[in-house]
């Protein structure tokens, strides 16, 4: 298991804390795995500083372009929804 420290903008951070938002769309440049942890650190894009708020969630599901392509022509479907470099992380 790995802990991934990630910046999270205030609007999204608040929705994650309340449970309204239960996913993250991220570039898969960290080799995310199910059961890894996301250490979401609230980041203010105006001041370019962390606010000090931190929230930790565990990855329970990962959706990739390959998953979207199952049973469907990947050229017609998957890449229009999710770029192959990105994943949707469910927690």
pLDDT at 21: 97
Interval 21-41: pLDDT, tens: 999 999 999 999 999 999 999
Domain ranges for the chain: 3-90
pLDDT at 16: 97
Structural tokens at position 86: 């990105």
Which residue's structure tokens are 């309204």?
A: 20
pLDDT tens over the chain, length 91 residues? 999 999 999 999 999 999 999 999 999 999 999 999 999 999 999 999 999 999 999 999 998 877 766 555 554 455 566 778 999 999 9
Q: Which fold does the domain 3-90 belong to in CATH? A: 2.30.130
pLDDT at 73: 54
Sheet containing strand 23-27, edge to edge, reads 23-27, 86-90, 61-63
Q: Cα separation of 64 and 72, whole Å?
A: 14
């Amino acid at each position: 298991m790995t802990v991934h420290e990630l910046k999270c903008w205030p609007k999204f951070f608040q929705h994650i804390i309340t449970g309204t938002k239960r996913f993250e769309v991220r570039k898969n440049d960290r080799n995310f795995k199910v059961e890894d942890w996301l250490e979401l650190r609230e980041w203010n894009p105006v001041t370019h500083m962390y606010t000090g708020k931190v929230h930790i969630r565990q990855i329970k599901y990962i959706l990739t372009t390959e998953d979207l392509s199952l049973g469907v022509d990947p050229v017609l479907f998957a890449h229009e929804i999710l770029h192959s470099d990105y994943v949707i992380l469910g927690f």
